[in-house]
Each structure stands twice: as C-alpha cells, then as structure tokens.
Amino acid sequence: MTTSSPMGEAKTRCLVLACGNTLRSDDGVGPKLAEWATERFHENRDVRVVARQQWTPDLAEEIAAADSVLFVDASAKSRPGRVSLTAVPSNRGSGSTGSHHLEAHELIGLTRSLYGSIKSHAMLLTVGAASTQLGEEFSKPVEAALPRAQGLLEKAVLRFLAN
Amino acid sequence: MSQTITIDPVTRLEGHGKITIQLNGKGEVEDAHFHVTQVRGFERFSEGRPFYEMPSLMARICGICPVSHLIASAKACEAIMSVRIPHTAAQLRRVLNLAQMVQSHALSFFYLASPDLLLGMEADPKVRNILGVAAASPELGRAGIALRRFGQSIIEILGGKRIHPGWVVPGGVTEPLESAQRDKILAMIPEAYANLALALAAYKKIAGQFKHEIEVFANFPSNYLSLINEDESIEFTDGALRIVDATGTIIEDGMTASRYSEAIGEAVEPYSYTKFAYYKPLGYPAGSYRVGPLARLNIVKTMGTPEADAELIEFKQLASGPVESSFYYHHARLVEMLYGIEKIEQILADPRILEKHVRATAGVNRNEGAGQAEAPRGTLHHHYKVDDNGKMLWANLVIATGQNNKAMNLGVLQVAQSYVKGGKFTEGILNRVEAVVRTFDPCLSCSSHAAGQMPLEVLLLSAAGTVLDRVAR
C-alpha cells in the first residue's frame, strides 16, 4: 500500500477514500473500514488508502492520480446497518453552497473539471448509521455490519485491480 | 414599522454565525449585527492541566490555524519557563507558521472568495462555489489546490501530520530537520511560485470589476495592529506588536506579549459570544482596530523579500495612507502568500537550519506567561497563570476574529445600508452581506473556541422585532 502524496509519484491503481468522524459514533465507520483496508492491503503498492473527516476539494488531486476510486462513508439515509455498494453518478449537479465538504459525485465532477480525468471506475460503499451522537462506539447494527462491509470493500478493490 | 433581515447561516466561513439587519419604518437599514452563536470554553477547561500540555490542547481550537495556536501557546509556556529557544528551533517554527499561512490563505482565496470574484456576486448560488470555479477556470482551481498542498505538505514534513502536528513544544520543537526533508520542501518551491503568479495576475484582472464592493466593503478609517520586526519588516512568529491609527501614525510600538493585557481590553456585546478587542487608551469602541493581512500590510514598511516587496509597493499605492477597504484583504492575502514562499526558501537556504539543538528545557520559573503569534487571519495572544507546580490556574485567549469583530459589524452595516433599499432583499444582496464578512476570513471556531457546524444565517427584522425574512443555507 502506498502512503505518500500522489503528486510526482507513480499513479495509484486503486484509491480507497474514506470519510467520517471517529468521535461521532457510527459516523466513524468510514475511518474504521479505512483502517481495515490499510491492514488488508499493506503489501500492495497499487492500493492507496486515505481517511479524512470530510471530503474536501483538495482530494481531487488524489483522485486524478488514481485509476479507480472507492469512496467509503456512513449513510444517514440508509437503514441502520445496511451495507450498499453503488456506482458514483458522474453527471449529478452540485448541492454545495460551502467549500468544506463535498459529496462523492461532486468530487468526481471536480476532478473532471480540473484535471480532465474521467473516472469510469468509481464506487461508493456506505453503511447505514443509527447514531451520530458524540461517542467512540458503534451502534449494534453497524457493529454487526462490519464483516459484510469489509467483504464488499475487499471485493471492490480486487475487482478494480483486475480491470 | 421597522423590519429585521436575518442571514443564518452565513456560508463559506470558518464557523457558525448569523447576521441580522434591522429596518426602520421607511424600509431603510437602521442597524446590522454579525453574531457569533457558538461557545465552547477552552479557557475554562484548561484550568487544572499541566502547563506543558497547553500547546497541544490549544491547537485543538482550530483545524485551519492550529499551528499559530501551537506557537502562541508554546511561547506563553516559555515565558513561564523563562527560556529562550535555540535559533534553529525559532526558524523551524517560522517555516511551519508560514506554511500554515500559505495553505490557509489559499483556502480563503480560492475556495471561499474566488466563487464571488470569478463568477460574480449575483451568480446563481448553485454554481457560485468551488465546483463553479473549477468549471470556469480550471487553471485557477488547480493552482488553489496545489498551493493548499504546498502548505499542508510542509506542515506534514515538519510536524508529522497536516492538522494538529505535535512537533512544537514548550522550549522549541521535538525533532531537528533532516537534509532530505529540507530538499523535499525546496523542490516544491518553483511550482508554488508559478501558481501564486497565476493567482495574482487573475486577481488583478478581476478586481477592477468590483469598484462598488471596494467602496462599501468595510471601507472606513480604523486603527490596525500586528507583529512587526525591528527593521519594520513583516513578522508572523516573533517580533513585537505595533498599533497605527487611521492615518498610519504609530500609537503603540514594541509591545511585548507581557504588556498586551495592559494595552488591550475586551468589550462584550449582548448579540455575540465573541468579545470585541480594543486599545485601552482610546476606549471602546474608538479603540477598536483591525488585524490580519490588511492590517499587517498597512503597518509594515517592507516584507523583507524581493518579490513580495515589489507587490507591497504596488499595494500601498492603492491609497495615500492605510488601505481602508476590507475588500483588499483578498489582495493582501496573495502578497503574504508570495512572501511566505520566498521566506521559506530563504530560511531553508541557511545551513544552520539543519542544526540538531532544537529544544531548551526548564521547569516553572514564573507563575505567569504570555505569548503571541500571527495567525493567517490576525494576531493571537495566549496568557496563562500557573501555580508553583505548573498547574494551570487561569488562561485568556485573544484571537484574531475578536479583534476584527467591530470592523466586521460595521462592514455588515455599511454593505446593508448601501444595497438594501425599501426593505427589498435579493440573493445578490444577501451574498454581498456575507461576502464582506468573508473578506476578513473570520474563524468563528477560534473566536468562541467552539465546536459544531460551520454555516451562518441572515434575518430581516421589523422595527417591532418581528422576523420578516430568514435565509438559511
């Protein structure tokens, strides 16, 4: 697994880009899965894992330097503990009024505008959150969903690497 | 019947605030306030902690300018220890603080301000954001991201991580700089120069389109405060404080951190959790002053680096005395970024930067200490009292946003009076009211030492206090 900045480095084949706050209970599931991915792919230089509290515009550079991207996040809209893996739509409009936080599809759009880099391989892995209150423990549904989320993450990365 | 407009939340700011605009019976703007609506209380919960923990605790106030809090706090601790840190440590801290300034100014200019500057104040809010900037000018968008990376990478190389590095400690820094690290930073310099040149050229091309905004964006006489070196060059990490009045005349000079509380008071207004700093001899509000890039460039005589000095000469030609419009904070930020790149290059060219002695040690030798540093958005002051064992008894933090608070409020009033006519309140007007606050790049988390969401709202109120309109984004 690579950990250095992508600028001036060899192109990353698969970027795992997680988002969440580990002090907000289930919102920390993204960083938790990123931690697992770091361990799982630590010997694979084609995989780069990045975890942030928010997805900021700066990450467009990282995405442009990767062949494929797997976004990992908690979802407030899904049923608690529901794990889903979906393609990231590349042509949806932006709902952002600020610049501190972008959604996965907005980052893909930003990457295309800035670097002309079109990501045909971009997926979003989400785990439905039951609680985002202050706390460092997951709810029972999210705790129970972790093995399935890890399995899907692994499959998605391996599929990206095989392409 | 009078009315009040409320903007809540105000967007593209570092923090959560609210703006209210009070109309009179004729629909004219009578008053306006910028409210900071969050509170956290770092000063209180630091009580009882060992003083040497303070830098790392205080850095948590802010994710944008933690380095300045680290440095001001470490300097307050060093006053308690009565130590002078090694020269190399002071220079390394200077590089770290300048790197933070570059990345924070890049965020302010490219991510927060450029949607207004590039797309216009009246542009559709759906596209008036960083994505709209990227679509309209990919080159400028890439430059902004690269300059952020430049600053953040230096912080990571020196401090081990991009946000909240623990490298700055009371007495100096924990580790010396290795030659490979220095060379890695130096290799990034040419790209940073190129991106900054692009941004300066773009700004100068665009600025002429904002004549009316320049006229009414907090454009009034005021006092200014910043750190400055003995040779009258700009300083972010050491030096002493100077205050100039509205004509540029020096009214206070050589003020060290230990004298700060003698000269600076903090007033409280009922509508904001952020205090209002003022120069005591002039009283409140006459002693209110501005800090940050505009204040620094109004106060210094030289930047101390060749390229930035050329830009400073051009900047000072904008007015015969101090440059008064807060719109020019944007311009000043770009000049400071250029200085930051040049100064980092200069410091790293000195072989002494690789010396290994980077930390002084001592225990508690005084029961009180104060430290100051320039954060990107203005001067920070940390003042601590400890017992003989070094346990924190009291802390007071005076931060940039509090020092700009009065000017921001007056700026909101000036813009509202200029644009809100007959009680009419369009999206473009709303954006200008927010944009004047953005020129200061306030950090509301710093100002209230608060946590939480970061947006802001605008309220329109009648004379009787009834909410007539509310905008929350």
Of B107, B3, B27, the C-alpha closest to A57 is: B107
**Counting Cβ atoms within 10 Å, is residue B191 exposed (0-12), middle (13-18) or buried (19+)?**
middle
Residue of A nearest to B103 (CA): A58
Distance CA B398, CA B25 (A): 39
The first and second tokens of residue B400, run together, are 């940039």
- Spell out which residues of chain B touch residue A57, defining contact as CB-CB under 8 Å: 111, 130, 134, 141, 144-145
The model's pTM is 0.90
pLDDT at residue A7 greater than cutoff 90:
no
Lowest mean pLDDT among B106-110, B400-404, B408-412, B418-422: B418-422
Backbone φ, ψ for residue B339 (5° rounding)? -60, -45
The reply to whether residue A98 touches residue B454, judged by beta carbons under 8 angstroms, is: yes
**B40 CB within 8 Å of a chain A CB:** no
Distance CA B365, CA B32 (A): 48
Residue among A62, A114, A132 with most chain B CBs within 10 A, to mutate: A114
Confidence bin at A100 (pLDDT 50/70/90): low
Interhelix angle B87-106/B138-159, nearest 10 degrees = 150
The first and second tokens of residue A77, run together, are 């809209």
Confidence bin at A4 (pLDDT 50/70/90): very low
Confidence bin at B292 (pLDDT 50/70/90): very high
**A133 CB within 8 Å of a chain B CB:** no
The reply to whether residue B126 touches residue A109, judged by beta carbons under 8 angstroms, is: no
Count CB neighbours of A136 within 10 A.
9
CA distance to partner chain B, nearest, from residue A40 (Å): 23
**B152 CB within 8 Å of a chain A CB:** yes
Domain boundaries, chain A: 12-162
What pLDDT is recorded for position A93? 58
Distance CA A51, CA A62 (A): 12
In a domain, B261, yes or no: no
Amino acid at B286: A
**Counting Cβ atoms within 10 Å, is residue B249 exposed (0-12), middle (13-18) or buried (19+)?**
exposed
Which ranges in B163-290 belong to alpha helices (H)?
179-207, 211-216, 260-263
The reply to whether residue B145 touches residue A60, judged by beta carbons under 8 angstroms, is: yes
**A61 CB within 8 Å of a chain B CB:** yes
Q: What is the CATH number of the domain that holds B200?
A: 1.10.645.10
**A115 CB within 8 Å of a chain B CB:** yes
In a domain, B335, yes or no: no
Contact B128, B116 (CB under 8 A): yes
Of B92, B145, B17, the C-alpha closest to B404 is: B17
CATH superfamily ID and name for A12-162: HybD-like (3.40.50.1450)
Number of folded domains that form chain B? 1
Across A14-43, average pLDDT: 95
What pLDDT is recorded for position B453? 39
Asked, as a colleague might, if the bond just before B281 is cis with ω within 30 of 0, I would say: no
The first and second tokens of residue A105, run together, are 């599809």
**B125 CB within 8 Å of a chain A CB:** yes
Lowest mean pLDDT among B120-129, B335-344, B384-393, B452-461: B452-461
Across B75-87, average pLDDT: 98
What residues pair up with B371 in beta bridges, in sequence order? B382
pLDDT at residue B20 greater than cutoff 60:
yes
**A141 CB within 8 Å of a chain B CB:** no
What pLDDT is recorded for position A3? 39
pLDDT at residue B471 greater than cutoff 50:
yes
In a domain, B451, yes or no: yes
Lowest mean pLDDT among B334-338, B396-400, B464-468: B464-468
B residues 426-455 closer than 8 Å to A (CB): 454-455
The reply to whether residue A96 touches residue B129, judged by beta carbons under 8 angstroms, is: yes
The first and second tokens of residue B130, run together, are 């960083």
CA distance to partner chain A, nearest, from residue B143 (Å): 10
A residues 68-107 closer than 8 Å to B (CB): 93-100, 102, 106
In a domain, B300, yes or no: no
CA distance to partner chain B, nearest, from residue A119 (Å): 17
In a domain, B428, yes or no: yes
Across A96-105, average pLDDT: 72
Contact B344, B232 (CB under 8 A): no
Lowest mean pLDDT among A56-60, B101-105, B232-236: A56-60
B292 Rama sector, left if φ>0, alpha if ψ -120 to 50, beta otherwise:
left
Averaged pLDDT score across all residues of chain B: 90
Count CB neighbours of B26 within 10 A.
10
**B108 CB within 8 Å of a chain A CB:** no
What pLDDT is recorded for position B348? 98
Run of H or E residues at B285: none
Residue among A7, A50, A58 with most chain B CBs within 10 A, to mutate: A58
In a domain, B303, yes or no: no
Q: What is the dihedral of CA A17, B15, B51, B73, to 10 degrees?
A: 90
Averaged pLDDT score across all residues of chain A: 88
Residue of A nearest to B64 (CA): A100
Distance CA A155, CA B224 (A): 59
For B354, the domain range is 3-213+349-472
- Spell out which residues of chain A touch residue B111, defining contact as CB-CB under 8 Å: 57, 99
What pLDDT is recorded for position A2? 46
What pLDDT is recorded for position A115? 93
Across B4-23, average pLDDT: 67
In a domain, B43, yes or no: yes
Q: Is the reported ipTM for this assembly greater than 0.95?
A: no
pLDDT at residue B2 greater than cutoff 60:
no
The percentage of chain B sitting over the pLDDT mark of 90, rounded to a whole number, equals: 68
**B112 CB within 8 Å of a chain A CB:** yes
pLDDT at residue A128 greater than cutoff 70:
yes
Count CB neighbours of B201 within 10 A.
12
Contact B291, B400 (CB under 8 A): yes
What residues pair up with B386 in beta bridges, in sequence order? B392
The reply to whether residue B454 touches residue A96, judged by beta carbons under 8 angstroms, is: no
Interhelix angle A29-40/A140-162, nearest 10 degrees = 40
What pLDDT is recorded for position B356? 97
- The number of C-alpha atoms within 13 Å of B367 and in the hemisphere containing its C-beta is 5
Distance CA A131, CA A129 (A): 6
In a domain, B462, yes or no: yes
Summarised one tens digit per residue, pLDDT across range B239-274 is 999 999 999 999 999 999 999 989 999 898 887 777
